[in-house]
Amino acid sequence: MKIVGVDFGGTTFTVGLVDAESGEILKEEQHETRAWEGFERITCRIAEVINSIKEDAKAVGIGSPGSILGGVVKFSPNLPDWKDVPLADRIGKLTGIPTFVENDANAFVLGEKWFGAGKGYDHIVALTLGTGVGGGVITHGILLKGYMGIGAELGHVIVEPNGPKCGCGNHGCLEAIASATAIVRMAKEMKKDFLDSEIFRSDRISARVVMDAARNGDKLGTIIRDRMVDALGRAIAGFAHIFNPQIVILGGGVSRAGDVILKPLKEKVESYLMPSFVGTFDVVISPLLDRAGVLGAASVALENVGR
């Protein structure tokens, strides 16, 4: 059985034809989103790509940023005219295939459940550490969405009271400390005291540059890594106390830093756990890597039509 997965973002979208059994991506195309073109034209182009690679696919799954309920994008931060747009319905009509939509962090945790580190588990907490921090939770086998479908905002739990300002308006959210954006911001803010840090030898400061510096023992890199790991550790321990999960899975660009985050993070998480929770779950980095977006999107469809 084949499924189409559409990893839709504000900058690019990727359409993949996925073997539902193996998770192999049989065909894949990436295109620019061109957000300024608006809902009608963008969805036309997405449908065209789907139609060109779909073969006998049984369903289409889409992972999209924003707040999504029942196939409708209620709003999406980087797509100004996407307000209450019937994304699933429109793509379904343009392709003739049943189409299902979830927000990208929810798609991520579904991808892990169907193809990744969450296979066979009914209790999964997932965090995507990218431009922002997204959350996806499967509890008792159910994707946690909440009353209006806007829940699982794990990135907006406050981990540092009176901490750095977050894009959401609050202070000290996990996103304001553990996202790529936050890591870069912290490096820039502390530049004047760490002028000789290797971070500032790069043309462009990125989360990767900062984490590479931490790996090399650079002082500023280490300070930022430690602060991020401490906040993330506290948050994950909290999520564990709440959900009693079997596994916690990290994805997104920042998670690619690997052991320089994961090793100290596991220690931090353990230090913040109640004794009865120690050893009850593992913290891992998503094994899906570049396939996480398309496989997550495909899993949105699988979650609805079955394998």
In the set 79, 107, 133, 152, which binds a copy of itself (CB under 8 A)?
A: 152
CA–CA dist 89, 11 (Å, integer): 22
270 near a copy of itself, judged by CB under 8 A: no
280 near a copy of itself, judged by CB under 8 A: yes
CA–CA dist 193, 260 (Å, integer): 23
Question: Nearer Cβ to a copy of itself, position 146 or 258?
Answer: 146
144 near a copy of itself, judged by CB under 8 A: yes
CA 23 to chain centre: 19
Question: Nearer Cβ to a copy of itself, position 131 or 197?
Answer: 131
Closest to 239 in 3D by CA, of 136, 130, 99: 136
Residue with tokens 């023992």: 217
In the set 145, 185, 215, 256, which binds a copy of itself (CB under 8 A)?
A: 145
How many CA within 13 A on the CB side of residue 288?
A: 33
CA–CA dist 108, 9 (Å, integer): 13
256 near a copy of itself, judged by CB under 8 A: no
In the set 89, 160, 198, 270, which binds a copy of itself (CB under 8 A)?
A: 160
134 near a copy of itself, judged by CB under 8 A: no
What's the Cα-to-Cα distance from 260 to each of 210, 255, 264, 266, rounded to whole Å?
Answer: 11, 10, 7, 11
CA–CA dist 303, 110 (Å, integer): 8
CB atoms under 10 Å from CB of 220, counted, come to: 22
Question: Nearer Cβ to a copy of itself, position 66 or 252?
Answer: 66
In sequence order, the β-bridge partners of residue 8 are: 13
199 near a copy of itself, judged by CB under 8 A: no
Closest distance to a copy of itself from the beta carbon of 226 (Å): 13
Candidates 6-14, 18-26, 105-113, 134-142 — which segment interacts with a copy of itself by CB under 8 A? 134-142
Closest distance to a copy of itself from the beta carbon of 150 (Å): 5
CB atoms under 10 Å from CB of 175, counted, come to: 28
Question: Nearer Cβ to a copy of itself, position 66 or 221?
Answer: 66
Total residues at interface with a copy of itself (CB under 8 A): 45
CA–CA dist 172, 164 (Å, integer): 5
Binding mask 6-35 for a copy of itself (x = CB under 8 A): ------------------------------
CA–CA dist 146, 270 (Å, integer): 28
161 near a copy of itself, judged by CB under 8 A: yes
For residues 61-100, which are near a copy of itself according to CB under 8 A?
Answer: 67
In the set 123, 185, 191, 256, which binds a copy of itself (CB under 8 A)?
A: 123
How many helices (H) and strands (E) the chain has is answered by: 9, 12
CA–CA dist 181, 192 (Å, integer): 19
Closest distance to a copy of itself from the beta carbon of 167 (Å): 10
244 near a copy of itself, judged by CB under 8 A: yes
CA–CA dist 118, 71 (Å, integer): 24
Interface contacts to a copy of itself, rule CB under 8 A:
67, 122-123, 135, 137, 139-140, 142, 144-154, 156-161, 168-170, 230, 234, 237-238, 241-246, 272, 274-277, 280-281
